[in-house]
Amino acid sequence: MTSDASSRKVALVVGGSRGIGRAIVVRLARSGFDIWCTYRGNHEAAEEVRKEVETLGVSCDLIPFDVSDYEAVRAALAPRVEETSPYALVYNAGITRDNLLMWMSPDEWNAVLRTNLDGFFNVTRAVLFSMLKARKGRIVAISSASGQLGQAGQVNYAASKAGLIGAARSLAREVGKKNIVVNVVAPGFIETELTHEIPAEKVLPLVPLNRLGRAEDVASLVNFLCTEEHLYIHGQTIGVNGGLAV
């Protein structure tokens, strides 16, 4: 990508301060994107990302808000998108509140659905009009193998991640003609804080590549979907799972 400031592209990475989101931010910054990195409340982690991104010669705006709060999302993003339309939107924010459905509380159900699925609506709703006006862009939603396969103890999480797949497919049908390409990336077991309590010896027998994934494995595909010029992949869900779901 060119370094001319007037033609630089912005990537909005939602939940970009830690784990997979951070790797996505760094990968897109390496590709030359200026970054808008959102997060909820861990300012220290976000500042670290900003420092790393700035060493790569692009800018990094930190934008804290709770994705589940429609008004807060709008207030944070609406003034920005009036000035600049992001070229890429990566919806990566996600949480788990695992429990068997038998014991799952309404709070556990609601927290996960509000963050993982409502958040996608709230953020995309806030920026889509500017992308449609620009008549170009890439949207990538980070789902999960749990949303494709189901997972005991994750009825809430799997529902939210399967919901993202349906939402992104439908959005792809709405905005494809406007040159906005929409896809879903569905990671399997990736080494992050979200998964550090899962014992590797239980997981590895299920993974033909015989290793856990790395955040960079996910970031590399997201980067491809956001930068590749010759892209005819649209409305698809692509697994990054070492063969877990083949």
Are the C-beta atoms of 12 and 36 separated by less than 8 Å? yes
Per residue, the 3-state secondary structure of the chain, as one string, reads CCCCHHHCCEEEEECCCCHHHHHHHHHHHHCCCEEEEEECCCHHHHHHHHHHHHCCCCCEEEEECCCCCHHHHHHHHHHHHHHCCCCEEEECCCCCCCECHHHCCHHHHHHHHHHHHHHHHHHHHHHHHHHHHHCCEEEEEECCHHHHHCCCCEHHHHHHHHHHHHHHHHHHHHHHHHCEEEEEEEECCECCHHHCCCCHHHHHHHCCCCCCECHHHHHHHHHHHHHCCCCCCCCCEEEECCCCCC
Output 40 or 138, the one with its CB closest to ligand NDP.
40
* Of 54 and 176, CB closest to ligand NDP: 54
Q: Residue 108, interface with ligand NDP (CB under 6 A)?
A: no
Window 173-192: contact mask with ligand NDP (x via CB under 6 A): --------------x-xx-x
Decide: is 158 part of the binding site for ligand NDP (CB under 6 A).
no
Binding of ligand NDP at residue 242 (CB under 6 A)? Answer: no
Whether the CB-CB separation of 62 and 14 falls below 8 Å is answered with no
Residue 40 interacting with ligand NDP (CB under 6 A):
yes
Residue placing its CB nearer to ligand NDP in the complex, 125 or 232: 125
Interface with ligand NDP in residues 201-230 (CB under 6 A): none
Is residue 28 within the footprint of ligand NDP (CB under 6 A)? no
Interaction of residue 45 with ligand NDP, rule CB under 6 A: yes
Instruction: Give the residue numbers annotated as catalytic, written as ranges.
Output: 157
> What letter represents residue 178's amino acid?
K
Q: Which is nearer to ligand NDP, 94 or 137 (CB)?
A: 94
Interaction between residue 163 and ligand NDP (CB under 6 A): no
Among residues 33, 36, 39, 109, the one that binds ligand NDP under rule CB under 6 A: 39
Q: What is the CA 51 to chain-centroid distance, rounded?
A: 21
Options 1-9, 39-47, 126-134, 166-174: segment touching ligand NDP (CB under 6 A) = 39-47
17 touching ligand NDP, by CB under 6 A: yes
CB of 125 to ligand NDP, least distance (A): 15
Residues in touch with ligand NDP (CB under 6 A): 15-21, 39-42, 45, 66-68, 92-95, 115, 142, 144, 187, 189-190, 192-195
